[in-house]
């Protein structure tokens, strides 16, 4: 958390309001979220103009002028809030970095558990970092055949495969579990064991659930808020995630939970039968 729909929601909001704004000053309260020493970070962003706001995987990518890329990854509990002028920053808890804007507003990066990161890159450095991430699941450039080829290279359980950002960028546990349920695939299935038709079903399921969640502006389990501080509306549309013991919306069988790589995987034992599964 937050995953592609949550990060894309934040990016779309910030892209409407931030481009053209100048950063007056950064104030660092939690240096451990930075890659650079705080004084170097603050010097680099002071006076920079925000040119654009984009997303790559779960990363919020702000292009600054002079040419620098500021990348914010919200980790588990991070928020990036854009406050209009005259809004007080003081009441916001867990502030990690404040970016005070020339317009009088502020961009606040808050993070209670501080698994998130803010880092500066040159354009070339960020390009190299970005190339290490897998393709974007919503990109029309990603074909079923290419997706299937990537899956067949790995013997990892498919749920774990989906969480690896070098395979596919932007998927986390919520949408991995939801897409596997929609595609009728058990979370322990070996990635390499999927038939082309199953890979196709999985890619369609991923795209459907990501698109629907994006329309609802993401899922607020606990910490996620949009850039204007609102909750996302997809929580009630989840079919398996966090629903252990409750009836499957498709077949009424109780939703099961297993722990896989220290993360819960939720699934319906009937809709997602365990055939040719991976065994520890
Ligand atoms: Zn079911």
Q: What is the CATH number of the domain that holds 175?
A: 1.10.8.50
The yes-or-no verdict on residue 277 having pLDDT over 70 is no
Count the domains in the chain.
Answer: 2
Cα of 240 vs centre of ligand 1, distance in Å, is: 9
C-alpha span between 166 and 209 (Å, rounded): 20
- Mean pLDDT value across residues 136-163: 98
C-alpha span between 165 and 276 (Å, rounded): 25
Residues of the chain above pLDDT 90, percent: 93
* DSSP β-ladder status, 263-267 and 59-65: unpaired
Q: Is 3 a catalytic residue?
A: yes
Are 71 and 117 within one domain? yes
Tell me if 139 is assigned to some domain.
no
Q: Which of 131, 160, 185 is the last residue of a domain?
A: 131
Burial of 238 (0-12, 13-18, 19+ CB in 10 A): buried
Q: Which of 84, 109, 131 is the last residue of a domain?
A: 131
C-alpha span between 116 and 10 (Å, rounded): 15
Tell me if 235 is assigned to some domain.
yes
The yes-or-no verdict on residue 246 having pLDDT over 70 is yes
Out of 27, 30, 204, 263, pick the active-site residue.
263
Indicate the helix (H) or strand (E) that contains 73.
strand 68-73
Q: C-alpha distances in angstroms, 208 versus 18, 176, 217, 234, 279?
A: 29, 12, 14, 13, 29
- Mean pLDDT value across residues 105-116: 95
| Residue 90 binned pLDDT confidence (cut-offs 50, 70, 90) | confident
Say what the pLDDT of residue 89 is: 79
The yes-or-no verdict on residue 86 having pLDDT over 90 is no
Are 177 and 258 within one domain? yes
Are 123 and 9 within one domain? yes
Cα of 246 vs centre of ligand 1, distance in Å, is: 11
| Residue 132 binned pLDDT confidence (cut-offs 50, 70, 90) | very high
Tell me if 278 is assigned to some domain.
no
Q: Is 246 a catalytic residue?
A: no
| Residue 279 binned pLDDT confidence (cut-offs 50, 70, 90) | very low
The yes-or-no verdict on residue 280 having pLDDT over 50 is no
Which domain does 227 fall in, by range?
144-267
| Residue 41 binned pLDDT confidence (cut-offs 50, 70, 90) | very high
100: CATH: 3.20.190.10
Q: Is 127 a catalytic residue?
A: no
Cα of 153 vs centre of ligand 1, distance in Å, is: 29
Are 93 and 202 within one domain? no
Are 71 and 30 within one domain? yes
Say what the pLDDT of residue 267 is: 98
Q: Is 19 a catalytic residue?
A: no
Out of 6, 13, 55, 58, pick the active-site residue.
58
Q: Which residues partner with 189 through β-bridges?
A: 277
Q: Which of 109, 131, 153 is the last residue of a domain?
A: 131
With b for 16 or more beta-carbon neighbours within 10 A and e for fewer, the 8-47 pattern comes to bbbbebbbebbeebebbebebebeebbeeebeebbebbee
Tell me if 138 is assigned to some domain.
no
């Amino acid at each position: 958390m937050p995953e592609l729909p949550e990060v894309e929601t934040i990016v779309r909001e910030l892209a409407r309001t931030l481009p053209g704004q100048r950063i007056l000053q950064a104030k660092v309260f939690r240096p451990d979220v930075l890659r650079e020493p705080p004084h170097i970070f603050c010097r680099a962003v002071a006076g920079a103009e925000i040119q654009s706001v984009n997303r790559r995987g779960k990363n919020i990518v702000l292009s600054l002028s002079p040419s620098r890329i500021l990348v914010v990854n919200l980790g588990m509990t991070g928020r990036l809030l854009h406050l209009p002028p005259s809004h007080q920053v003081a009441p916001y808890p867990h502030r990690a970095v404040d970016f005070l804007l020339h317009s009088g507003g502020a961009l606040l990066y808050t993070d209670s558990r501080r698994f998130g990161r803010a880092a500066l890159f040159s354009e070339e450095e960020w390009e190299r970092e970005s190339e290490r991430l897998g393709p974007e699941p919503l990109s029309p450039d990603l074909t079923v055949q290419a997706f299937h080829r990537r899956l067949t290279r790995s013997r990892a359980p498919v749920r774990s495969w989906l969480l690896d950002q070098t395979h596919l960028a932007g998927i986390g546990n919520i949408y991995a579990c939801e897409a596997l349920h929609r595609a009728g695939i058990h979370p322990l299935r070996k990635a390499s064991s999927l038939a082309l038709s199953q890979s196709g079903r999985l890619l369609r399921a991923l795209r459907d659930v990501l698109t629907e969640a994006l329309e609802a502006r993401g899922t607020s389990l606990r910490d996620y808020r949009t850039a204007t501080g609102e909750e996302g509306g997809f929580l009630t549309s989840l079919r398996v995630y966090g629903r252990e013991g409750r009836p499957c919306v498709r077949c009424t069988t109780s939703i099961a939970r297993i722990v896989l790589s220290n993360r819960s995987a939720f699934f319906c034992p009937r809709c997602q039968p365990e055939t040719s599964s991976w065994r520890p």
